[in-house]
A and B are shown apart, each in its own frame.
Chain A
């Protein structure tokens, strides 16, 4: 049973460029969340996708956008890259349940983005 997979592992871009990161959730999961983790910090929630729609969003500018496909995989797009966007981008998957969800999230190994 494959866990959460992310690609690419590492990426180097220059300021102003655009980047797309990809995530395949764990088998049986239908919800994908994206987090940004700067060096020495904890992960910060970017947004969450369920049923191909953005369900919740953190405090990130519109330069950050996403998409979820019918097979539940997801993409994170960042436009007009800034130096401050350099970070580890983590994808986490879970499954939706009614009531109080257990909400255990399974994380991928992340994509390390460096903006020069």
Chain B
């Protein structure tokens, strides 16, 4: 299975602290994406990193990708209570343009005021 796996399953921090979550996957990819989900609602796209990129930034988000280890990390700096959500990494099939995404079980992030 291509499905990614996030680690840790749950993370609890104080506002202002940084949050780091990791993702591992099994087969070669074109892109890796991170999505956020609030309280069992729809997923919101956060950031996409291509297989030939190693690091990408967007606002308070920093994503790294190590294709040799088939792993990625998402860093949220200076976290806020509003960042409380589930975070999922999603991968695709390398060489495929069909768009199927494979999701892990997610990391539940709780940020305390």
Indicate if the CB atoms of A33 and B42 lie closer than 8 Å. no
Tell me the complex Cα distance, A103–B41, Å: 21
Indicate if the CB atoms of B98 and A43 lie closer than 8 Å. no
Residues in B with CB closer than 8 Å to A4 are 42
Q: A42-B3, A45-B102 are in contact. Are A103 and B31 (CB under 8 A)?
A: yes
B82: interface (CB < 8 Å): no
* Number of residues from B at the complex interface, CB < 8 A: 24
In residues 79-113 of chain B, which contact A (Cβ within 8 Å)?
88, 92, 97-106
Q: A41-B105, A102-B48 are in contact. Are A110 and B42 (CB under 8 A)?
A: yes
Tell me the complex Cα distance, A112–B40, Å: 9
* Number of residues from A at the complex interface, CB < 8 A: 35
Residues in B with CB closer than 8 Å to A106 are 45
Residues in B with CB closer than 8 Å to A58 are 100
Indicate if the CB atoms of B103 and A43 lie closer than 8 Å. yes
Indicate if the CB atoms of B98 and A42 lie closer than 8 Å. no
User: Top 7 nearest A-B pairs by Cβ distance?
Assistant: A42-B103, A107-B42, A107-B43, A109-B42, A56-B98, A43-B103, A101-B97
